[in-house]
Structure 1
Amino acid sequence: MNLTQSIDKKQTRKEPFPISILSLTVGAFAIGMTEFVIMGLLPNVASDLDVSISTAGQLITMYALGVAIGAPILTILTQRIPQKKLLCLLMILFIIGNGISVLAPNYTILMIARMITALTHGTFFGVGAVIASNLVQPNKRAGAVSIMMAGLTIANIIGVPLGTFIGQHMGWRASFGAIAIMGVIALIGILIFIPQLKQEKPVSLAEQITALAQPKLLLFLLIGALGNASLFTVFTYITPLLEQVTGFAEHSVTWILVLFGCGVTVGNIVGGKLADWKLMPSILGLYFAICIILTIFTFTIYNPITAVVTIFLWGVASFAVMPGLQVRIMSLAQSAPALASTASHSAGNLGNAAGAFIGGWVITHLAITSLPWVGALLVGLGLIIGAAAYIAERKKTVKPQVH
């Protein structure tokens, strides 16, 4: 009887998979929108709050730091809260943060509002990834995580241009108002569709830190950060690269970025399926593909057609690797998967910041045309570390059979 009940339970748990995970996708979409929409609204925010563009740019930097530093701390502090309740609390905090952004009378208040929303970012994705992977059978975990993460990628294609359009026509505050409404929709979806999951026995702070401090786990956090650094070394400066080197007009770049975003979404879904098929070989294979694509981009950047094709393929490969990495990191810290998942977002955001810095250094000291091959070197370094870890792991599992 117990066996039948457990099989029935598994089936019922699997049944709500699409709709319940879609409510996480909506939350991911809203969070992605709030992170990136500010890039298109910087001039509007700067002139309205009477600050320089570079000062307004700090709203992006501080958000990334808020995710990187605040998210693991918040995950540790909230580990005793049931996962569904925690997701609801995070969305409420997200709605409040964006609500404050709408009403912010000055730059300081807007910065505080951005920091509040940044705190929700990493923890939402960390807990969301654990919930998504628990709602499906083990062989579908990466696919489930990729569906949730698709919200972040769709935010880049639809959300950011839409938010920028709203901001330019109705004022930047209206953009944050629209994001707050998206947060309310996500909250309702989580309340209705996410089932109450059995709460795991709370893990002590020492155990969580021990789980996170494993050399192998830290190695994969580094590999993820190197991948993001490679992406942002080139992507941060993709507009001047396409305008100055390839010769595209400013209005054409928007459509190229939409195409990149389509590649990102395709990659995210394909990557989830590949990781469910063969986890480590797919991660290493995709890092190798990114390395090759960026090396080729060094030469294809001079021709409009080849540049666009390369950018699309780069988008596919760059984001195809992410669901697999997320699942790999969670599986390495079984006693603290939410913290590990959150830490991977922190490492990713540090990679983003490092990539933007490295890209700026390359433009100043080398040339803007050097960006793709420097990006290839960074992802190549991640590939070498990953391959070495995989070979060492394979040797360990083969050894007992020899004796």
Structure 2
Amino acid sequence: MRGWLAVASLTAATFAVTAAEMLPVGLLTLIGDGLHVSEGSAGLTVTLAGIVAALAAPGVPLAVGRLDRRLSLAGLALLLAAANVLSALAPSLEVLLLARVLVGVALGGVWAFAASLAVRLVPPGAVSRALAAVFGGISMATVLAVPTGTFIGEAAGWRAAFAAAAVLAVVVAVALAALLPALPAERPVRPGELLRQCGNARLRTGLVFLALLVVGHFSAYTYVRPVLERSAGVSPALLGGLLLAYGVTCFAGNVASGVLAPRRPRAVLLTLGGGIAACVLLLSLVGSLAPSVPPVPAAVAVVLVWGVFYGGVSVGAQAWVLAAAPDSREPAGALFASVFNASIAAGAFVGGRVLDAGSLRAVLLTGAGLALASVVVLTVLPGARRGR
């Protein structure tokens, strides 16, 4: 039981950092009005946190060295709390961006440690469930953070939303300190170890797959609202409920992938990559199939299935990473977190550039092509077929 309570504290940590990362999405207008800046400038609060997280993921394990991982995670949660307090008190955009840098550090650090520590907390036969639980925190934050933050922001102001996130982070820090056992570093992470893992063919193939798939997904998903409104005719009233339902199907995909991926990681990842490619491609065709295929029901069905496939990506890819580097879980986990966060930012950038030069359909075709390329990578690159 104590092991699962410890896993629950890790889930709370992944939930808290992901919620903090996404919180500004529903508050951009309020932040812009409050600090007298444009919504585009306020949007930097989201982009900056993701970029810093990509850099911090390998940097935090290097910085903490041999420090007990229980203390490391509790310290990262307290850093997150301080960042959210600073966000709530920020008198200017510059101070708010500084606070978001601190959020990025906490985000990258927690992601770097979470999966490797989950493996140490439960018996070998329960690892798949533990990974699904830990990464379930990310899925739950995806579903709940933006609408909850928006509700608090509308009711009490955007600063209150950041204050609530600070309180959550303090509670998580206490839970981590109380529920995690002592977790001494298995070995200190050194720069040479990170470089050595880049030479691991199986790990490298998994990370290339992950980068292509996540860039492809976010290049399309970032612009899913205008796609649904303009191409499929989905009304604004339906859109909010649909995106919430998408988050629920993401959680379902996370659970299913957590059960299956540790036993058959390659088959699961090929299914996820192919499924995302197919869904994004189908969404690009929805408008052109009318009236023989009603566009709104078709778009709703495609988006919900897309959520199932994408929801399994984080835990499925992490299962591959742990299998590829069983003796270097922390360095491999740090590289995983770095690639994942960098790919989220890159996906939004790629989608924006394609949209500027082309159309919404071009954005979807680009996303589908990148997702399909990830499947090819996992089929032909060295290390793709070796072992389980």
Give the alignment's TM-score, normalised by structure 2.
0.93
Q: Is the 8 A contact 1:143 1:323 kept in 2?
A: no
Where in structure 2 are the equivalents of 1:184-263 lying within 5 Å?
Answer: 184-263=170-249
Hey, what does 1:136 align to over in structure 2? 122
Helix, strand or coil for the counterpart of 2:43?
A: helix
The AA in structure 2 aligned to 1:239 is R
Which secondary structure does the structure 1 equivalent of 2:234 belong to? coil
Structure 1, residues 294-342: CA drift from partner, whole Å, max 9, x if none?
2222223561111111101101111213212112223333443223212
* Cα distance change on mapping 1:72 and 1:203 into 2, 3 Å: closer
- In the TM superposition, what is the alpha-carbon distance from 1:92 to its structure 2 partner? 0.9
| Per-residue deviation, 1:353 | 1.8
The residue that corresponds to 1:83 in the other structure is 69
Q: Which moved more, 1:63-72 or 1:112-121?
A: 63-72
Deviations 1:8-61 (A, max 9, x none): xxxxxxx43432211111121111111112011111111111112221111122
The one-letter amino acid of 1:62's match is L
Q: Name the CA distance, whole Å, in 2 between partners of 1:203 and 1:107.
A: 35
1:111 paired with 2:97, answer yes
- C-alpha distance in 1 between matches for 2:205 and 2:115: 20
Change (3 A) 1:369 1:144: same
- Following TM superposition, by how much is the alpha carbon of 1:258 offset from its aligned partner in structure 2, in angstroms? 0.2
Deviations 1:322-380 (A, max 9, x none): 21211222333344322321221221122112211221223222321233332111011
Aligned to 1:383: 375
1:98 and 2:90 matched: no
- Picking from 277, 302, 313, the partner of 2:305 is 313
SS at match of 1:316: helix
The equivalent residue for 2:168 is 182
Q: Which amino acid aligns with 2:245?
A: L
Contact 1:143 1:276 (C-alpha < 8 Å) held by counterparts: no
Whether the 8 Å CA contact 1:139–1:276 is kept in 2: the answer is no
Q: 1:102 to 1:299 in 2, by over 3 A?
A: same
Any idea what the Cα deviations from partners look like across 1:94-113, whole Å, max 9, x if unmatched?
Answer: 11111111111111111111
CA distance in 2, matches of 1:142, 1:245: 39
Following superposition of structure 1 onto structure 2, how do residues 1-400 of structure 1 map, counting pairs within 5 Å? 15-300=1-286, 303-389=295-381, 393-394=385-386
Letter in 2 for 1:383: V
- Distance in 1 of aligned mates of 2:9 and 2:65: 21
For the residues of structure 2 that align with 1:149 and 1:204, how far apart are their CA atoms?
26
Which stretch has the larger CA shift, 352-361 or 254-263?
352-361
Contact 1:330 1:338 in 2 (8 A): no
Contact 1:300/1:306 (<8 A) preserved: yes
Secondary structure of the structure 2 residue equivalent to 1:105: coil
The secondary structure found in structure 1 opposite 2:183 is coil
Deviation at 1:198, TM superposition (A): 4.7
> What is the identity percentage for the equivalent residue pairs of Structure 1 and Structure 2?
28
Structure-2 separation of matches of 1:390 and 1:322: 22
Measured against aligned partners, the alpha-carbon deviations of 1:148-182 in whole angstroms (never above 9, x if no partner) come to: 11111111212220111101221111111111111
Q: CA–CA distance in 2 between the matches of 1:139 and 1:324?
A: 17
Question: Over the residues paired in the alignment, what is the CA RMSD in angstroms?
Answer: 1.9
Distance 2:344 2:193 in 1: 29
Please, which runs of 5 or more residues in structure 2 have no aligned partner? none
Q: Are the equivalent residues in 2 in contact too, given 1:212–1:333 (CA < 8 A)? A: no
Larger radius of gyration: 1
Partner AA of 1:374 in structure 2:
T
Distance 1:388 1:143, change over 3 A: farther
User: Conserved in 2, the CA contact under 8 Å of 1:26 and 1:182?
Assistant: no
- Residue 250 of structure 1 and its aligned partner are, at CA, apart by 1.8
Partner Cα distance (2:127, 2:378) in 1: 21
Is the 8 Å Cα contact of residues 150 and 269 (structure 1) preserved in structure 2? yes
Q: Secondary structure at the match of 1:276?
A: coil
- Give the deviation of 1:116 after TM superposition: 0.6
CA distance in 1, matches of 2:319, 2:328: 13
Distance 1:199 1:54, change over 3 A: closer
Query: In 2 relative to 1, CA 44–316 (structure 1 residues): closer, same or farther, beyond 3 Å?
Result: same
Aligned partner of residue 188 in structure 2, secondary structure = coil
1:203–1:335 CA contact under 8 A, matched in 2 = no
Distance 1:333 1:77 in 2: 21
Q: What one-letter code is carried by the residue in structure 2 that aligns with 1:95?
A: A
Instruction: Determine the structure 2 residue equivalent to 1:10.
Output: none
Whether the 8 Å CA contact 2:87–2:100 is kept in 1: the answer is yes
- The change in CA–CA distance for 1:381 and 1:40 in structure 2 (over 3 A counts) is same
